[in-house]
Chain A
């Protein structure tokens, strides 16, 4: 199975129905959900397209103008491409989120790790966005806004159905636990 990182293959594939049946319990151990592989595919494609073009340009243009030896410059963007290929996967694996009884957890980052906790009652607005490229790959992002602009709670690259489910659930929970400033 390709979905999610090795440690939580279960919830990513089957968790949706299972969680709908029994709500996440007392919140002792969060049930982490990884991102679907579509986001990785999209980011890798973008990387290959842009850096591939750059590799071609740095290889062909100096090669034609200044001699074949200069085409060696193409190694730089190529190395960047290979490095980015690996890094994108590490970054994608690091993204995960968990809906607990009273708050949403989002964890991300490989070198610069960040974990955000947003109590449902503090949510002011839930936003689902999807750009043209994202739409082509069937992806949406969910963004949570609280009264604090510094709250950076975005989950990118979700399946649109999952994004809508999450939006509805968050809105519902937010209403139930709503509080002022």
Chain B
């Protein structure tokens, strides 16, 4: 490997040409030019050879510990095919399962039948009632949640009703005179 300076962009370009030549990537005209250059440039020849040597060295350094036993590859093949078959089975099963699972909207009342429909309706009414009873609006909830005593609370509407009805009651009382109309 020569130690000639080669940091200039020109040198890098030339290296690219040599690499292309080695890799069989040069165009025919470029190949002709480089062949001509090689005949007249010992430095170019050394450079080309050093890149070829480096490439050969890299290739020679390859050391992947591959299993050599034929049974190993047969086993690996069998495992792969078993896994592939498993994946294929899962893939086949998915559309079938999807087809079996119908959305609820696709199920008609006729298919369900009247008893099932009635039962569902009753259940929904019960759930709604239970929800309402436990909600803020329910009277039971108001009783338990109100800051006033329940007795007072219960008397309030009664008192208001009594106040509103008092004149009418007095008029209806036997012997009682109705208030004279305002003559003014």
- Tell me, yes or no, whether A binds B: no
